[in-house]
Amino acid sequence: MKKTSPSLDWCVVRCDNDNKWWVDSISDSENWDIEDLGIIDPKQFIYINELLDSMTEFGLQSQLVDEAFFTFEISEEVAGKKVKLERVRDSLLKAEDMLFALPDVLDEEKGPYADFLSHVTQIRVAMLNDLIEFTEPYTIEEMEEVLSEKHNNDFLEGRRSHFSDELVSILEFVPDGFELDSDLDDEKDEDDEGEEDYSDLDTHLVEVSDKDEKLLPDEDLKWEEDEDREEEVTSYEGGAPDDK
């Protein structure tokens, strides 16, 4: 399915106190409603991609992943600690640069992102039934009922729904009362036990261009305080001055 918004060339985004990015303005304002329109940042998608990797053996269709998102790269910093993003046509799964991902929700019910969510929901349920011994096979309807209740509770409590939360809630879903041993859990256990293996560390590093490294906030993509302030204050290491 081809992208349906040729005038979508850029957007300006801002980061809130919860480390989530939201669209502040967009080039294609006729087709996009930017009220509470979230965008998945590069670090969030790196984690999402790790979860998607675990689904490959269960039939994940990578093409649906790429079709579900519009991709953007950092262009420049703008006033108000906001960032302008420029549209690129790179694959999210194969891109060498860090990209922002805006779900294609122009058609919320039948569009590419809706198809993608349906696909990963089916695969997640298949994984659960393969890895957990249920008395009766777990169903998609049961999973959707639990997630829908959570979404409604968040809405009633005034919490805005972000695409990253929606997607991770599906990819990490496990029914109450059950546990799921996954590769990610195994890696976490090894870290807790102090038995880290760094032999393949280089294969997991993400290269960031000088421009992106300058504009992307460190740690959780939040803007840092000016580090130069600390460098300007130095302690006096000499002895007490002589009285003359």
Which pLDDT score is estimated for 183? Answer: 43
- For residue 6, pLDDT over 80 is answered with no
**Residue 24, phi then psi, degrees to nearest 5:** -100, -35
- For residue 202, pLDDT over 50 is answered with no
For residues 189-201, average pLDDT: 45
Task: List, for residues 140-184, the tens digit of each pLDDT value.
Answer: 999 999 999 988 887 777 777 899 999 999 999 999 988 876 444
- For residue 188, pLDDT over 70 is answered with no
Which pLDDT score is estimated for 32? Answer: 94
3 state DSSP class of 86: strand
Which pLDDT score is estimated for 89? Answer: 87
Alpha-carbon distances, residue 69 vs 19, 52, 87, 148, 241 (angstroms) = 20, 15, 11, 23, 65
For residues 53-63, average pLDDT: 92
Q: Which amino acid is at 141?
A: E
pLDDT band at residue 186 under the 50/70/90 scheme: very low
Nearest to 83 by CA among 115, 113, 49, 39: 39
Residues in Cβ contact with 77 at an 8 Å cutoff, skipping those fewer than 6 apart: 83, 84, 215
pLDDT mean across residues, the chain = 79
Which pLDDT score is estimated for 205? Answer: 35
Which pLDDT score is estimated for 55? Answer: 93
Strands 10-15 and 21-26: antiparallel
For residues 127-132, average pLDDT: 94
The C-alpha atoms of residue 10 and residue 25 are separated, in whole angstroms, by: 9
Which pLDDT score is estimated for 168? Answer: 96
Lowest mean pLDDT among 121-135, 147-161, 220-234: 220-234
Torsion of CA 12, 15, 19, 23, to 10 degrees: -40
Task: List, for residues 89-119, the tens digit of each pLDDT value.
Answer: 888 888 777 899 999 999 888 899 999 999 9
Nearest to 89 by CA among 112, 109, 111, 66: 66
Which pLDDT score is estimated for 141? Answer: 96
Which pLDDT score is estimated for 57? Answer: 92
The C-alpha atoms of residue 229 and residue 208 are separated, in whole angstroms, by: 26
Counting every residue, how long is the chain? 244
Tokens 């560390």, located at residue: 201
Alpha-carbon distances, residue 183 vs 85, 154, 180, 215 (angstroms) = 34, 29, 10, 33
pLDDT band at residue 234 under the 50/70/90 scheme: very low
Burial of 18: CB neighbours in 10 Å, binned 0-12, 13-18, 19+ = exposed
Which pLDDT score is estimated for 181? Answer: 63
Tokens 């996954």, located at residue: 182
Lowest mean pLDDT among 101-115, 132-146, 229-243: 229-243
pLDDT band at residue 212 under the 50/70/90 scheme: low
